[in-house]
Amino acid sequence: MSRRALRRLRGEQRGQEGPGLGQLGIDPGPERAREAGPPPPPGSRPRATVSNRFELIPAEESEDEPVTGEEQVDTRLSEQDTAGGNKEGNKERNKERNKEGAVTEDTDDGQREEEEAEQPDQMPALSNKPRKKKKKRKTKKTSAGDTVEDNDLEDIDSLLERLEDPSGLSLPSQGGLIADSRPLLYVEHRNLNPENELKRYFGARAVLGDQRPRQRQRQYVRSTWLTAPKNTWPRYSKTGIAMRLLDTRRGVQHFTFEHHREYQQVQFKFLDAVESMDPNNIVLLLQMNPYHVDSLLQLSDVCRMQEDQEMARDLIERALYSLECAFHPVFSLTSGTCRLDYRRPENRAFFLALFKHLMFLEKRGCPRTALEFCKLILSLDPENDPLCVLLLIDFLSLRAREYTFLTRLFQEWESHRNLSQLPNFAFSVPLAYFFLSQQEERPELERSQARERAARLIQLALVMFPSVLMPLLDHCSVQPDARVASHPFFGLNAQISQSPALNQLTSLYVGRTHALWKDPAVMAWLEPQTHEVLRMVEAQDPLVQEAEHKRKIRYQSAPRNIYRHVILSEMKEATAALPLEVTSQPVMGFDPLPPLDSIVSYTRPERTSHPSNESTLSLFFRSLLPNFNLQGDIRHDGDDEAGAGQDINQGVNRLMAAMRDMLANIQFQEPPRDDNPEGDGDWD
């Protein structure tokens, strides 16, 4: 029995095999509509529209409808003509495909007729084989597309590798456009992880070691960007810190941290512990509140003074983890448009924790990660720069070999921030241009331009800050020639005549970056530039007189954020130059030199203190026993005067009894007697 007779017996008609995309109400798109051909004329049978062109050859119509097969062959011909463009080869391939298709269709139809004779009621068995054939052809089709996508992905990966070259080499034109399109203070999440930088230096196996099996057994903790939580940390719970969005102005979002009532009570206890001058009280407070941020910062300084660098770093990381868990959902570390006001005491802990963390990273040998944290601090308040990280960002850029970033920062901010008036930028930017000129991968034109800029800028720096040269050569263990050493322009007079504020800046720069100038190539480049400056001085160049006038007018007194930066940096050369008004006041590690215009949201309750009219003996006993009160409580009621006197007498009696017991228990130990006073004459 033929296929058509079977269809008539079942009452089926052609076109009922299954709904297409058009019948399901899905728009097939212009390309699919173009492949499907013109719409059928009115009155004709509707033709099923499907997403896959190979579905146009169903099992039921492979024998009865040769027209569909011809249409399918035409479709294949059109595709091959557009892809290859070789008409003769396409005709031969189509002839062979038609022959193979006829043979396979005859064999398949014979098998299907036998199956229908055995199982005429099972319709799904007829559609299994065509589905397999359709799936195979579909995979053949998508495999070619996948190869194209893989090639595109390889191109993207290679482009990203060129963009992220840590050596600071020049980028191609397309890559340069992509890199320059980013904001200046753009922060990348992966650069905040020091392990990524260490992996680039030493490899993943040397960095991770046996940490991988431990991570599988670790309990679930919240994932953060600033630091990775450790198994040794206490279990995290709500600390009472939250972040609130204040307002949004000109696309910049202003946030602030907030302390809840419970956290305020812990903060008051912390201030009491600090006033006691006993670190053990802070330890006890952390045992009850393991994620109190100010306690972690203060105890970290104590551990660092005791040379316990590992514990000090761990406490700072725990403070960062506590603060990041309190972030607002909209707060972003990478956008560069989120601001925090340092005048609010609740926000200062975040600034200080980031600064101390980047200092640990720099000592650990991760300058690229430290530079990313430095950019993050600067993006939180770029106008005021409360920790003055501009005095540090040039050093980190040079150490991380991010010369392009440093030169771009100087070019974009020089007009409105006058970065050339800071000694660190005046000397570091020409050094960055010199390193760029030494890179052989750059074109010769760019290298020559970098050499010219480096020479011009270093001459301006030596003219503006002549007091930097001799201390810098002294730290580098380099003996200058007789002309430079004997010239008064670079002599001792240049260091004595400068103001204390300028002395702090120059001392900070020399003490921090002198190791970068020890390169023999750098010294060979610096020597002719120094002689050129001496020639300008001897010729009485007006530029020299203008620079001297600027030094006298400016740098009269340093702003408070520079003092704060010097205290946090702990550079001996700069700390020794701090003025008396800074060194005479107490400096706390959790809040060094708070701003004078602070915005206080809550105040500490006043502690009740009685007037001190005690005698010298009473003060002496109080120093031994802080809870001892010889005079008792001061009572204002006249009826209690007798009771007050009785309390005084009882206190004196108890004290005298305690002193008698102490003197009675004192036993003097007699010196040991020698049974042989004459001795045997032997000496040990």
Alpha-carbon dihedral angle through residues 263, 264, 265, 269, given to the nearest 10 degrees: 100
CA distance 670 to 674: 12
CA distance 392 to 399: 11
Complete DSSP assignment for 365-387: T-HHHHHHHHHHHHHHSTTT-TT
Token pair of 113 as six digits: 């007729």
The CA-based angle 420-424-428, given to 5 degrees, is 90
Q: What pLDDT is recorded for position 71?
A: 46
Answer whether 555's CB lies under 8 Å from 563's CB. no
Question: Alpha-carbon Rg of the chain, whole angstroms?
Answer: 41
What residue ranges of the chain have pLDDT lower than 70? 1, 5, 9-180, 209-221, 607-684
Phi (first) and psi of residue 64, to 5 degrees:
-90, -20
Phi (first) and psi of residue 338, to 5 degrees:
-105, 130
CA distance 219 to 684: 63
Q: What pLDDT is recorded for position 12?
A: 56
* Type of residue found at 250: R
Grouping H, G, I as helix, E, B as strand and the rest as coil, residue 240 is coil
CA distance 24 to 18: 10
CA distance 329 to 22: 43
Answer whether 50's CB lies under 8 Å from 20's CB. yes
Instruction: Return the half-sphere exposure (C-beta side, CA atoms, 13 A cut-off) of residue 211.
Output: 10
Alpha-carbon dihedral angle through residues 55, 57, 60, 64, given to the nearest 10 degrees: 150
What lies within 8 Å, CB to CB, of 335 at 6+ separation is: none
Helical spans, DSSP H, in 465-591: 469-475, 482-486, 492-496, 500-513, 520-538, 542-553, 560-569, 572-575, 580-583
Token pair of 257 as six digits: 């941290």
103-112 long-range contacts (CB < 8 A, ≥24 apart) are 105/62, 105/63, 108/59, 108/62, 109/3, 109/62, 109/63, 112/59
Q: What pLDDT is recorded for position 623?
A: 56
> Among candidates 284, 302, 386, which has minimal Cα distance to 345?
386
The number of residues making up the chain comes to: 684
> Among candidates 466, 433, 479, which has minimal Cα distance to 536?
466
> Among candidates 508, 608, 604, which has minimal Cα distance to 558?
508
CA distance 197 to 204: 10
> Among candidates 336, 372, 457, which has minimal Cα distance to 189?
372
The structure tokens 């991570």 sit at: 215
CA distance 558 to 508: 13
Q: CA 490 from chain center: how many Å?
A: 41
DSSP state of 589: T
Strand partners, 259: 241
Grouping H, G, I as helix, E, B as strand and the rest as coil, residue 256 is strand
